[in-house]
Homo-oligomer: A and B are copies of this chain.
Amino acid sequence: MIPELLSLIGIAAFAVSGAVVGVRRRLDLLGVVVVGLATGTGGGVLRDLALNVSPPAAFTHWPTLAVAVGASLGVFVLHGRLSRLRRLELVFDAFGMGLFAATGASYALDRAAGPMAAVLIGTLTAVGGGVIRDVLVNEIPIVLRRELYAISALAGAVLTVALVAATGSLPLSTVAGVILAVGLRLISLWRGWHLPAPKNR
Protein backbone atom coordinates (compact mmCIF):
# COMPACT_ATOMS: atom_id res chain seq x y z
CA MET A 1 0.00 0.00 0.00
CA ILE A 2 2.65 2.53 1.03
CA PRO A 3 4.98 1.54 -1.86
CA GLU A 4 2.08 1.91 -4.32
CA LEU A 5 1.27 5.35 -2.92
CA LEU A 6 4.90 6.44 -3.10
CA SER A 7 5.07 5.12 -6.64
CA LEU A 8 2.06 7.27 -7.64
CA ILE A 9 3.71 10.33 -6.09
CA GLY A 10 6.84 9.49 -8.08
CA ILE A 11 4.76 9.29 -11.27
CA ALA A 12 3.29 12.71 -10.52
CA ALA A 13 6.72 14.21 -9.77
CA PHE A 14 8.28 12.83 -12.95
CA ALA A 15 5.25 13.88 -15.01
CA VAL A 16 5.62 17.44 -13.67
CA SER A 17 9.33 17.47 -14.57
CA GLY A 18 8.50 16.23 -18.09
CA ALA A 19 5.64 18.70 -18.60
CA VAL A 20 7.90 21.55 -17.42
CA VAL A 21 10.44 20.56 -20.07
CA GLY A 22 7.62 20.53 -22.62
CA VAL A 23 6.56 24.05 -21.61
CA ARG A 24 10.17 25.22 -21.68
CA ARG A 25 10.48 23.84 -25.23
CA ARG A 26 7.16 25.54 -26.19
CA LEU A 27 5.36 22.34 -27.19
CA ASP A 28 1.60 22.50 -27.65
CA LEU A 29 -0.93 21.15 -25.12
CA LEU A 30 -0.69 17.59 -26.35
CA GLY A 31 3.07 17.64 -26.68
CA VAL A 32 3.31 18.74 -23.05
CA VAL A 33 1.00 15.91 -21.99
CA VAL A 34 2.89 13.36 -24.11
CA VAL A 35 6.26 14.30 -22.58
CA GLY A 36 4.73 14.35 -19.09
CA LEU A 37 3.08 10.98 -19.61
CA ALA A 38 6.20 9.39 -21.11
CA THR A 39 8.38 10.73 -18.28
CA GLY A 40 5.93 9.76 -15.55
CA THR A 41 5.28 6.25 -16.81
CA GLY A 42 8.47 5.42 -18.76
CA GLY A 43 10.54 4.13 -15.85
CA GLY A 44 7.71 1.87 -14.69
CA VAL A 45 7.19 0.48 -18.19
CA LEU A 46 10.90 -0.43 -18.45
CA ARG A 47 10.65 -2.01 -14.98
CA ASP A 48 7.64 -4.09 -16.04
CA LEU A 49 9.31 -5.18 -19.28
CA ALA A 50 12.35 -6.33 -17.27
CA LEU A 51 10.11 -8.20 -14.82
CA ASN A 52 7.84 -9.56 -17.56
CA VAL A 53 4.71 -7.90 -16.13
CA SER A 54 2.40 -7.87 -19.15
CA PRO A 55 0.82 -5.57 -20.10
CA PRO A 56 2.88 -3.04 -18.13
CA ALA A 57 0.93 -1.55 -15.22
CA ALA A 58 0.82 1.86 -16.91
CA PHE A 59 -1.41 0.32 -19.59
CA THR A 60 -3.92 -1.28 -17.24
CA HIS A 61 -3.90 0.70 -13.99
CA TRP A 62 -6.01 3.81 -14.51
CA PRO A 63 -4.69 5.77 -11.49
CA THR A 64 -1.21 5.72 -13.09
CA LEU A 65 -2.58 7.25 -16.25
CA ALA A 66 -4.83 9.73 -14.42
CA VAL A 67 -2.02 10.97 -12.19
CA ALA A 68 0.46 11.40 -15.05
CA VAL A 69 -2.02 13.16 -17.35
CA GLY A 70 -3.46 15.25 -14.52
CA ALA A 71 -0.04 16.45 -13.36
CA SER A 72 0.93 17.34 -16.94
CA LEU A 73 -2.31 19.26 -17.53
CA GLY A 74 -1.78 21.08 -14.24
CA VAL A 75 1.62 22.27 -15.39
CA PHE A 76 0.20 23.36 -18.73
CA VAL A 77 -2.58 25.39 -17.07
CA LEU A 78 -0.44 26.89 -14.32
CA HIS A 79 2.84 27.42 -16.13
CA GLY A 80 2.23 31.15 -16.52
CA ARG A 81 2.50 31.43 -12.73
CA LEU A 82 5.52 29.17 -12.44
CA SER A 83 8.89 30.78 -12.38
CA ARG A 84 12.36 29.36 -12.67
CA LEU A 85 11.27 26.40 -14.78
CA ARG A 86 14.73 24.83 -14.84
CA ARG A 87 14.96 24.66 -11.04
CA LEU A 88 11.41 23.31 -10.82
CA GLU A 89 12.31 20.61 -13.32
CA LEU A 90 15.38 19.54 -11.35
CA VAL A 91 13.57 19.38 -8.00
CA PHE A 92 10.60 17.41 -9.31
CA ASP A 93 12.98 15.15 -11.21
CA ALA A 94 14.87 14.50 -7.94
CA PHE A 95 11.66 13.43 -6.21
CA GLY A 96 10.60 11.24 -9.14
CA MET A 97 14.04 9.64 -9.29
CA GLY A 98 14.25 8.95 -5.53
CA LEU A 99 10.69 7.66 -5.23
CA PHE A 100 11.19 5.30 -8.19
CA ALA A 101 14.58 4.01 -6.99
CA ALA A 102 13.09 2.70 -3.75
CA THR A 103 9.63 1.69 -5.01
CA GLY A 104 11.14 0.06 -8.13
CA ALA A 105 13.42 -2.04 -5.92
CA SER A 106 10.65 -3.05 -3.53
CA TYR A 107 8.31 -3.82 -6.45
CA ALA A 108 10.98 -6.13 -7.91
CA LEU A 109 11.52 -7.87 -4.54
CA ASP A 110 7.77 -8.31 -4.24
CA ARG A 111 7.85 -10.14 -7.60
CA ALA A 112 10.54 -12.54 -6.43
CA ALA A 113 13.56 -10.86 -8.03
CA GLY A 114 16.89 -11.52 -6.32
CA PRO A 115 18.70 -8.73 -4.44
CA MET A 116 21.05 -7.81 -7.29
CA ALA A 117 18.24 -7.74 -9.85
CA ALA A 118 16.10 -5.67 -7.44
CA VAL A 119 18.85 -3.08 -7.00
CA LEU A 120 19.42 -2.80 -10.75
CA ILE A 121 15.73 -2.71 -11.62
CA GLY A 122 15.17 -0.01 -8.98
CA THR A 123 17.99 2.04 -10.50
CA LEU A 124 16.65 1.49 -14.02
CA THR A 125 13.15 2.56 -12.93
CA ALA A 126 14.63 5.67 -11.32
CA VAL A 127 16.70 6.86 -14.25
CA GLY A 128 14.49 5.52 -17.07
CA GLY A 129 11.81 8.20 -17.07
CA GLY A 130 14.35 11.01 -17.14
CA VAL A 131 16.31 9.40 -19.97
CA ILE A 132 13.14 9.02 -22.05
CA ARG A 133 12.20 12.67 -21.37
CA ASP A 134 15.62 13.99 -22.33
CA VAL A 135 16.01 11.79 -25.41
CA LEU A 136 12.55 12.86 -26.64
CA VAL A 137 13.48 16.54 -26.53
CA ASN A 138 17.02 15.92 -27.84
CA GLU A 139 18.96 16.83 -24.70
CA ILE A 140 21.83 14.92 -23.10
CA PRO A 141 20.16 12.82 -20.38
CA ILE A 142 20.40 14.30 -16.90
CA VAL A 143 21.87 11.00 -15.66
CA LEU A 144 24.98 11.77 -17.74
CA ARG A 145 25.24 15.45 -16.89
CA ARG A 146 24.53 15.92 -13.26
CA GLU A 147 25.89 15.75 -9.78
CA LEU A 148 25.46 12.41 -8.02
CA TYR A 149 22.42 11.41 -10.03
CA ALA A 150 22.85 7.70 -10.75
CA ILE A 151 24.71 7.23 -7.48
CA SER A 152 21.71 8.60 -5.53
CA ALA A 153 19.37 6.20 -7.34
CA LEU A 154 21.73 3.29 -6.70
CA ALA A 155 22.09 4.23 -3.00
CA GLY A 156 18.32 4.39 -2.52
CA ALA A 157 17.80 1.03 -4.21
CA VAL A 158 20.62 -0.63 -2.23
CA LEU A 159 19.32 0.71 1.09
CA THR A 160 15.81 -0.50 0.30
CA VAL A 161 16.98 -4.00 -0.59
CA ALA A 162 19.35 -4.19 2.42
CA LEU A 163 16.67 -3.06 4.88
CA VAL A 164 14.13 -5.52 3.49
CA ALA A 165 16.70 -8.29 4.04
CA ALA A 166 17.40 -7.02 7.59
CA THR A 167 13.89 -6.13 8.76
CA GLY A 168 11.47 -7.85 6.42
CA SER A 169 9.37 -4.69 6.23
CA LEU A 170 8.75 -3.54 2.68
CA PRO A 171 6.97 -0.26 3.56
CA LEU A 172 9.56 1.00 6.07
CA SER A 173 12.49 0.00 3.90
CA THR A 174 10.96 1.75 0.90
CA VAL A 175 10.41 4.96 2.85
CA ALA A 176 14.03 4.92 4.06
CA GLY A 177 15.28 4.32 0.51
CA VAL A 178 13.23 7.24 -0.80
CA ILE A 179 14.59 9.58 1.89
CA LEU A 180 18.20 8.59 1.15
CA ALA A 181 17.90 8.89 -2.65
CA VAL A 182 15.96 12.17 -2.71
CA GLY A 183 18.04 13.67 0.10
CA LEU A 184 21.38 12.76 -1.45
CA ARG A 185 20.36 14.15 -4.83
CA LEU A 186 18.91 17.41 -3.45
CA ILE A 187 21.93 18.04 -1.21
CA SER A 188 24.33 17.38 -4.08
CA LEU A 189 22.37 19.77 -6.30
CA TRP A 190 22.31 22.43 -3.57
CA ARG A 191 25.96 22.10 -2.64
CA GLY A 192 27.19 21.45 -6.16
CA TRP A 193 28.73 18.11 -5.17
CA HIS A 194 30.07 16.18 -8.10
CA LEU A 195 32.35 13.36 -9.09
CA PRO A 196 35.72 13.82 -10.81
CA ALA A 197 35.61 14.48 -14.55
CA PRO A 198 38.29 13.64 -17.13
CA LYS A 199 41.08 16.20 -17.01
CA ASN A 200 41.67 18.31 -20.05
CA ARG A 201 44.55 16.96 -22.03
Contact = CB atoms under 8 A, between A and B. Distances in A.
Contacts of A177: none
A92 to B, nearest CB: 17
A172 interface: no
A145 to B, nearest CB: 7
Contacts of A113: 55, 59
A26 B79 contact: no
A197 B27 contact: yes
B55 A54 contact: no
Given A27-B198, A65-B120, A131-B136, 8 more contacts: A30-B148, A31-B143, A34-B127, A50-B54, A52-B52, A60-B117, A76-B198, A138-B138
Interface of A: 22-23, 25-35, 45, 49-52, 54-56, 58-60, 62, 65, 76, 79-80, 108, 113-114, 116-117, 120-121, 124, 127, 131, 135-141, 143-145, 148-151, 194-199, 201
